[in-house]
Amino acid sequence: MLQWQIAIQEYRGNMTIVHKDGNIHKNADGLSRWPLPNNIDNPAYVAEEASPQVPIEGISVTDLNTTFFEEVRNSYTQDKNCSILCKLLTKDCKDNSLIHALD
């Protein structure tokens, strides 16, 4: 009852709240009640199961074929923008025309 009084207190002057006994008011909506917090004081308290913490104790290492790394390395030189960026990042490149050559 109190929860509804709190929820509708701004309309207090326009209505009157009348309590109906449970035997008379059989269509009460159980879902409209505020739930109690799930703590030890709640009679319907359900202890939440703590999920066990399992440490990861395995690492998988995969060696890739050296040809894969060669293909990646070569693709940087074949790509126009990547090759320009690589040149700009190496040894204090002062060539401003390279910066303007980017797409």
List the domain boundaries for the chain.
2-32
Quick one: pLDDT band at residue 1, thresholds 50, 70, 90? low
Tokens of 3: 């929860």
* Cα distances (Å, whole numbers) of residue 7 to 34, 36, 44, 74: 11, 16, 24, 69
Name which of 26-35, 55-64, 83-92 the model is least confident about: 26-35
Can you give the pTM of this predicted structure?
A: 0.30
The answer to whether the CB of 83 falls within 8 A of the CB of 76 is: yes
Query: Which pair of structure tokens corresponds to residue 45?
Result: 């308290």
